[in-house]
Structure 1
Amino acid sequence: MEDMNKIVYVVDDDEIFHFIIKKMLGQQSDHLVVTSFLCAEEALEQLSSTPQPTLPSLIILDMNMQRMNGWDFIEAYRGLKTSLKNTIPIIMCSSSVDVRDMQKVQHTPELMAYITKPLDKNKLKVIEEYL
């Protein structure tokens, strides 16, 4: 068992969601560091300037945000991921239950899963599969 902390980026413009996910993930593991970003641009900037060993193990990404949404983030991430040592799994999390969004997720290789808000224990299990 490695004693390294795993880092999770939460990219969402809803501060309450950050609070809830930190609480839920924090109850699961002491070796988890949740880093919050209220806008996608900050998360991208952090990804491009972070030393490789401290990259996140997972990104939880909101679909609907101001300025840059989740899809825009993925487009920008595609340009960035060639310079990253590891591919970082991304889980999209949204309040949208639009079938078109879910279909788009299936055709987006960077996305491992799509979960809808609010979070519950089953949705948390999906997140934990990628940690």
Structure 2
Amino acid sequence: MAHKQKKVYVIDDDEIFHFIIKKMFGLQGWDVTISSFLCAEEAIAALEEDPVASNLPTLIILDMNMQRMNGWEFIEAYKVLKTKTGREVPIIMCSSSTNISDLEKVKEIPELREYITKPLDKQKMKLIATYL
């Protein structure tokens, strides 16, 4: 039986971050398809468009500070969506913020599995790998 292709949604308004994370996934040699979204609304639309559990991403990597809809607002919209899909996708918040209140808020949101600060490195990629 063929293994299921893993899909990762990367939601970040920084195009350079998308480039870096794709490079880092490639360097790890992981068999992963990455879908890049420069705004959270596009990612929500993609999830709504194909809400079948088997079509959902394996993992979502989410930036906190974005224009229009930020990471926290994405999570609120995602909570509504996950009731329709019947499957929860782990979310890793990846941000440059080291604000203590942000770190505390992460602990209160069960959908968020990890909070990783930018820039990414090999150790942080290993942590991401545990959710694939």
Query: Is the TM value for this pair above 0.5?
Result: yes
Calculate the TM-score normalised by the size of structure 1: 0.95
Calculate the TM-score normalised by the size of structure 2: 0.94
Match of 1:31 in 2: 31
Look up the SS of the partner of 2:65 in the other structure.
coil
Q: Which moved more, 1:67-76 or 1:2-11?
A: 2-11
Give the whole-Å Cα distance in 2 for the aligned partners of 1:2 and 1:96: 40
| Sequence identity (%) | 61
Give the whole-Å Cα distance in 2 for the aligned partners of 1:78 and 1:116: 23
Letter of the structure 1 residue corresponding to residue 98 of structure 2 = V
**Cα RMSD (Å) of the superposition?**
1.3
Matches within 5 A, 1:46-85: 46-50=46-50, 51-85=52-86
Look up the SS of the partner of 2:20 in the other structure.
helix
Which ranges in structure 2 are unaligned for 5 or more consecutive residues? none
Match of 1:114 in 2: 115
Give the whole-Å Cα distance in 2 for the aligned partners of 1:123 and 1:94: 12
Runs of 4+ in 1 over 6 A off after TM superposition: none
Give the whole-Å Cα distance in 1 for the aligned partners of 2:20 and 2:5: 20
Match of 1:44 in 2: 44
How far is 1:28 from its partner? 2.1
Deviations 1:78-102 (A, max 9, x none): 1111011310000000000011100
Look up the SS of the partner of 1:18 in the other structure.
helix
Give the whole-Å Cα distance in 2 for the aligned partners of 1:2 and 1:17: 31
Contact 1:4 / 1:31 at 8 angstroms: preserved in 2?
A: no
Look up the SS of the partner of 1:13 in the other structure.
coil
How far is 1:53 from its partner? 1.6
Matches within 5 A, 1:10-29: 10-29=10-29
Which ranges in structure 1 are unaligned for 5 or more consecutive residues? none
How far is 1:63 from its partner? 0.1
